[in-house]
Amino acid sequence: MMRNRPSTYRVYLVFLAVTALAYWQVALLQNSLKWDVMDCYLPWRYHVGECLQNGIFPFWNPYTHCGYPIHADLRSVWYPEAFVIGLSTGYTNLHLHFLFVFYLSLAGLGMYLLSTHFVRDWRASFMAGCAYLLSGFFTGHGQEMFGIIAATWIPFVLYYYIRLLKYRQFDDVLRTSVFVFLLVTGGYQALWAILFYLLLAVFIVRMIRLLRLRQAREAVQLLKLNVLLLLISVLSLTVIAVSYFQVAPHLGRLSGLSMEDAWFMPFSPRSALSFLIPFATVKDAAWYDTDLSMNNAYAGLIVLVFFVFSLFRKRSSLLNTFLVFGLIALLASFGRYTPVRSMLFHTLPMMDLFRHSSFFSYFALLAIILSAAAGFNSFLKHPHEGRRLLFRISLVTGAGLLILFIYGLMNAGPGPFLFLGKIVSFREWLMQPTRYEHVVIHATIQIFLLSLFAILISKCKRRIYPALMLLIILEMTLAVQLNTYYTVVSAGVRPMDLAANLKQRAPAFPLPQADIPVSEHTDASTSYSVLWRNTTIYSKAVSFGGFNSFRLEGCVSLADSFPQLAEKVLRNPVIFLSDSLKPFSPEIDFAASGNNSILYTEGHVLKTIPGQLQKSADDSIRLTDFYPGFASAEVSLKNPVAITLLQAWYPGWMVLIDGNEAEIFVSDRMFMSVLCGPGNHRVEFVYSNNLIIAAFLVSVIAILLILSRLIAVAFRGRKKLAVAAIAFLWIMPVAVFLIRFNPSEPYSVKKEKAYRDAAQKVAGSGVKHAVFNTDNELLMRKYLGEAGFKGEGYFYNLTRRTDISLMLDYLDSIDKQGVENLARVSLFTPFSFEEACVLSSWDCISEDNLNDFGNVGLLNKGGDRRFYETLNDFEQAVPGWNGHVEALDSLNPFSGRFSNRIDGDSPGSYACRLKFGEGTVPGLPEGRITVLARVRVKGNAEGASLIIQKRRGNLAVETFPLPLAGLTKQTDGWVQVAKAGTFSNDFMPDDELIAYIWGSEKTKLYADDFSLEIISGEFCRK
């Protein structure tokens, strides 16, 4: 059957189709991916992409843990995918869907190739590839992209390494090194650390075989090639090695974990249920003593039968090596339940550097699939000899499933199965059934499919292979689908909505606002749907929080040991002045001090402080630039003071005052401070790392040289084609880098150019009124003056959440003035859907993109696009509104006599409830509709939200919330807030549209002039 082996690219296309079918929710963008891939992989890659798109090398992430060297987090930067996507388009969540399907189908191809070392029939290899890409590892780790990447490249590493051992060819050294590079730079460290020992075991077995056959010359040659492989791999991974050794002294975790940490999240013995019924493992994580993403090692029911079948057949020494290693790995994956993990932890290098014992189970899965392929190959070669044994194995397996079925049925309880109940909400329907119901349901399915398999092998004599493969793919696809909504995708979350939200975030790197404390920047304040961790990376806001195990020692010390000190210093903005330095001591009561600008540092630093520091009321500091690895400020001082940037100190940072280097000292355990004398100065904080750049170039050149050699080998005999391919390989990355990293136009120059171009376009348009949503009002005013703009400008900055009130007041003022022509500028700030809704009655005449940093639009007053509007000023009853009269307040109105009080006694405001058709609102608007809710509020908004919702009966179909905490003023003033949302589906005649404010026990809020507008059709949304 080797002769009839189909071409590799055709096999890959089939794997691609199988992956798209099994994971159609991902492939067709029906449901978003979930958990770690959205919490970690996306924000980290998003940041790398933003850096590369703007010509900034991704050394530093300033937005998590108050800054850390992202290049030293070995998974985040150096993987080729990050540069390919980062330099070309940048990352969105939609890229992850493409990558998910791409990697799984590629993983299937890798297993297909690897299995050729164990079987000769391509059909058995195809079965192995399908089983692998549909296996429980990928379903269980569907939200862990680093694990998926590792599992994609491991079969390729093994395939080419075994080829190297067999044929001892130099080119296989190069091929193996390429996939080692991909694995180490992109994959989860635990998997490649364990793989090292599998490679070592395979090498030792091969060497023993050669020595037993007295082939000493071949053994020496093989040893030399392995040394060469090691050297080439190390050379290509130079940038990883340098990053590791640079960060190791500043990262306590690299010195090793505790045994308790290493035992964390095992593949517990109870998780072995996943070998038969993986659907049972997505409930009751506590019962399994692990996370539900870590307890799925499903290889396929029929594949499992062929695995057992293979144990009764003759096997190669290579397969036995994999089986023994797989057994040890399985025992190690049990964590504390066996002594194996502990033995490995204490005896083998690298085994004390990672958590999640369950990752060992991957290698058991690998061995099962390869052994099953060997059994399948044996059956295809002699089908009549194996039928009886397969039938017996199927009977035993069926008996086990029947026992599980009875066990589940006995424990499910006397009531009706929740799975058979009415589906009101798909998400709730998934969550309600018990583990026992899952056992019963999947055991029933498996018994039926196993019966079909038994019939096939006993009755079917012709064309049995297509029938078996269809059954295997069907059975494993069903298993994937049963678990998909638990461990792969989020029910009810649409990827296109997330992509739209990411697109609305501020482009490039906006200036942090000088009046906002860092403590106000949290993931919660910038979250959206499943984007709820590391979200300050999207909003480009410096935060001390973050979801990342990679933390510098100073951050760990401040967060874990001195939280009161952290709370004190984070009440300051990103950069601030201080005249009070004190010696640090763990005994200090940091909460007792009312001065947030006190700096605590080591005693030896205080001895170097010359003279007295003293702040003055006339002192000022203004950030002029801020992007990853750089911050500059203009200061005006009467006396010497200390300037602190709330970014973590790390080797490579330097401070320049008027171009001259000044000495940095560490304050408050981790931050960078510098002394500055009186006068006007320009202060620059700069991060550089020339050693990393040099190591990066070494790695890139090494990989390009390896690939050039492999291209030459692949196109041997076609010299011109080989030369063209090699030239493209070298020229393309250089050209792309030069486009993004133009030395004559660095990021700061491009930013100023965008402001200058915007000012010239506004001045040249002749308009007399313009609104500016920008991150740097002074810079905008400067260039408007130079351009000769004589009109009236309205400035706000929507990176500051409270400026939504300013924006709404300005736009209301423009509307009242009867302005007919308007310029609208947005630069380095987030898009505001609410702004677009307020301006929906304006026609966009022209719009110019400013190098993707924002845009300038010219608007003319147009027709009213509102389908319906209603306003409640709480002075009289309004159709469609209802609430409690006792919640009206006459002491705190904004207009008229009354406002609406929201507090612990009346947590809900007056609600606007509209029905279309023959209800409150006549008719139904055509197409998708947008709703804008606006209201004046004052008071304590803690725990309160403005909510727009579509309800169908008792079910909330779609909801748009706006948390109000932080938007109201500390003083007694009123502010205006707004929330807009476009409903994804058309309204049905009985659907209800609701808008209201809902508070908590801590809320004490007043609302007035509450309005709702329904806008039909498209309008200018940019």
- In this prediction, residue 924 carries a pLDDT of 65
Residue 296 backbone phi and psi in degrees, to 5:
-125, 105
Give how far the C-alpha of residue 490 lies from the chain's centroid of Cα atoms, to the nearest Å.
14
Return the structure tokens found at 135. 């296996």
- In this prediction, residue 654 carries a pLDDT of 98
Q: What pLDDT, in 10s, does the model give residues 775-788?
A: 999 999 999 999 99
Q: How confident is the model at residue 932 (pLDDT cuts 50, 70, 90)?
A: very high
Alpha-carbon separation of residue 666 from 164, 603, 793 (angstroms): 51, 11, 42
Return the structure tokens found at 662. 């000044």
- Total Cβ atoms within 10 A of residue 399: 11
Q: Tell the residue number behind the tokens 């050039």, with chain if given.
A: 708
Residues 6+ positions from 440 with CB-CB distance below 8 Å? 405, 408, 409, 412, 417
Element counts in the chain: helices (H) and strands (E)? 34, 29
CA atoms within 13 A on the CB side of 602: 9
Which contacts of 585-593 are long-range, i.e. CB under 8 A and separated by 24 or more positions? 586/561, 586/562, 589/564, 590/562, 590/564, 590/565, 591/564, 591/567, 593/568
Q: What b/e string do you get for 268-298 counting C-beta neighbours within 10 Å, with b at 16 or more?
A: bebbbbbbbbbbbbbbebeebbbbbbbbbbb
- In this prediction, residue 919 carries a pLDDT of 61
CATH of 866-1016, one of 2.60.120, 2.40.160, 1.20.1300, 1.10.287: 2.60.120
- In this prediction, residue 469 carries a pLDDT of 95
Residue 616 backbone phi and psi in degrees, to 5:
-125, 155
Give how far the C-alpha of residue 519 lies from the chain's centroid of Cα atoms, to the nearest Å.
23
Give how far the C-alpha of residue 554 lies from the chain's centroid of Cα atoms, to the nearest Å.
25
Question: In the predicted model, is pLDDT for residue 1021 greater than 60?
Answer: no
> How far is 566 from 582, CA to CA, in rounded Å?
16
188-197, 382-391, 695-704, 1007-1016 — which is least confidently predicted? 382-391
Question: In the predicted model, is pLDDT for residue 194 greater than 60?
Answer: yes
The average pLDDT across 174-182 equals: 98
Q: What b/e string do you get for 774-797 counting C-beta neighbours within 10 Å, with b at 16 or more?
A: bbbeebbbebbeebebebebbbbb
For the chain, give the mean pLDDT.
93
* For the chain, domain boundaries: 8-30+92-248+260-488, 551-687, 690-741, 757-861, 866-1016
> How far is 259 from 181, CA to CA, in rounded Å?
29
List the one residue out of 857, 834, 786 whose CA is nearest residue 979. Answer: 834
Question: In the predicted model, is pLDDT for residue 2 greater than 60?
Answer: no
- Total Cβ atoms within 10 A of residue 610: 8
- In this prediction, residue 131 carries a pLDDT of 98
Q: What is the DSSP letter of 275?
A: G
Return the structure tokens found at 102. 């791409």
**CATH match of 757-861 with 3.40.50:** no
- What sections of 168-258 are H helices per DSSP? 170-186, 189-212, 216-236, 238-247
- Total Cβ atoms within 10 A of residue 695: 20
- In this prediction, residue 3 carries a pLDDT of 53
Question: In the predicted model, is pLDDT for residue 14 greater than 70?
Answer: yes
Task: Report the alpha-carbon angle 202-205-211, nearest 5.
Answer: 140
Strand order in the sheet with 842-849: 792-796, 769-774, 821-827, 854-861, 842-849
Question: In the predicted model, is pLDDT for residue 845 greater than 60?
Answer: yes
Q: What pLDDT, in 10s, does the model give residues 420-461?
A: 777 666 667 777 788 999 999 999 999 999 999 999 988 776
Question: In the predicted model, is pLDDT for residue 1 greater than 60?
Answer: no
> How far is 882 from 934, CA to CA, in rounded Å?
17
pTM over 0.85? The answer is yes
Question: In the predicted model, is pLDDT for residue 986 greater than 80?
Answer: no
- In this prediction, residue 315 carries a pLDDT of 92
- In this prediction, residue 443 carries a pLDDT of 96
- In this prediction, residue 252 carries a pLDDT of 64
Question: In the predicted model, is pLDDT for residue 212 greater than 90?
Answer: yes
- Total Cβ atoms within 10 A of residue 987: 22
